[in-house]
Chains A and B, each alone.
Chain A
Amino acid sequence: LAKTTQPISMDSYEGQEVNITCSHNNIATNDYITWYQQFPSQGPRFIIQGYKTKVTNEVASLFIPADRKSSTLSLPRVSLSDTAVYYCLVGSYSGGYQKVTFGIGTKLQVIP
């Protein structure tokens, strides 16, 4: 499974755009990139997934360069409720599910 590297922590002011970059140099051809969000004492929540280029949903955007060795999660205009840990995962589908490994994630602190 491809190893991912992301910043341990980030601070941002309310209303700003936050970009969290994840490195996955050993990403395989069949691997997808997935981001989850986790609040304290809760299970992780799916945010977004992509394979290449750009993906956008109602919550975030995911930018993936052509070499796919990194990806950037973009959160527009963060609010205090976006304070959480964000995990970047890389994995392929095998046996009917995506085999992924969670790292320690990026702890985002949104400041008023």
Chain B
Amino acid sequence: DTGVSQDPRHKITKRGQNVTFRCDPISEHNRLYWYRQTLGQGPEFLTYFQNEAQLEKSRLLSDRFSAERPKGSFSTLEIQRTEQGDSAMYLCASSSLAEQETQYFGPGTRLLVL
């Protein structure tokens, strides 16, 4: 299967710790997105990459959040000094130039901050 993959699938951490999530998009998809989803809500946009360039960041992405896509392939999302409010599902999606209307989502990383 060559879909979007995310690692880890689950993460439990203590408040104040740093966590990093990884997303591997579909090969040759040059667009990559991060979303956050809390229980009962739809996904909220966090940030968007075109190749290695981070072109858009939501105001939801506080200074404690940072995302990278160093070689235009996989991406990482780091949360520093986690807070209980960061508990959520973090979703990654990718899309291609040819099919830009379709974002392919990964299974997500579920974060629980104790």
Q: Do A and B bind each other?
A: yes
Taken together as a complex, chains A and B put the C-alpha atoms of A84 and B106 apart, in Å, by: 17
Residue in A closest to B31 when the chains form the complex, CB atoms: A97
How many A residues touch the partner, as a band?
20 to 34
Which of A34, A46, A104 contacts B104, CB < 8 Å? A46
Which of B42, B95, B105, B106 contacts A104, CB < 8 Å? B42
A93 — which chain B residues lie within 8 A by C-beta? Answer: 100
Query: Is A101 among interface residues, defined by CB-CB distance under 8 A?
Result: yes
Which A residues between 79 and 102 are near B, CB-CB below 8 angstroms? 87, 93, 95-102
B48 — which chain A residues lie within 8 A by C-beta? Answer: 95, 97
A98 — which chain B residues lie within 8 A by C-beta? Answer: 100-101, 103
Residue in B closest to A50 when the chains form the complex, CB atoms: B101
Complex contact B100–A103 (CB within 8 A): no
Residue in A closest to B9 when the chains form the complex, CB atoms: A41
A44 — which chain B residues lie within 8 A by C-beta? Answer: 43, 91, 103, 105
Complex contact B45–A49 (CB within 8 A): no
Taken together as a complex, chains A and B put the C-alpha atoms of A104 and B4 apart, in Å, by: 23
CB-defined interface of B30-43 with A at 8 Å, one 1/0 digit per residue?
A: 01010100001111
Interface size on B, residues (CB 8 A): 29
Which of A34, A41, A96, A105 contacts B42, CB < 8 Å? A105
Distance of B6 from chain A, by nearest CB (Å): 8
Residue in B closest to A32 when the chains form the complex, CB atoms: B101
Query: Is B72 among interface residues, defined by CB-CB distance under 8 A?
Result: no
Complex contact B100–A96 (CB within 8 A): yes
Taken together as a complex, chains A and B put the C-alpha atoms of A93 and B100 apart, in Å, by: 9
Q: 9 tightest A-B contacts by CB?
A: A43-B105, A102-B42, A46-B102, A102-B43, A49-B101, A43-B91, A44-B105, A43-B106, A96-B50
Q: Beyond A43-B92, A44-B103, list 4 extra A-B contacts (CB 8 Å).
A: A41-B110, A46-B102, A96-B50, A104-B42
Q: What are 13 A-B residue pairs whose CB atoms fall within 8 Å in the complex?
A: A41-B110, A42-B105, A43-B106, A46-B103, A49-B101, A96-B100, A97-B50, A97-B95, A97-B100, A98-B101, A101-B45, A102-B41, A104-B42
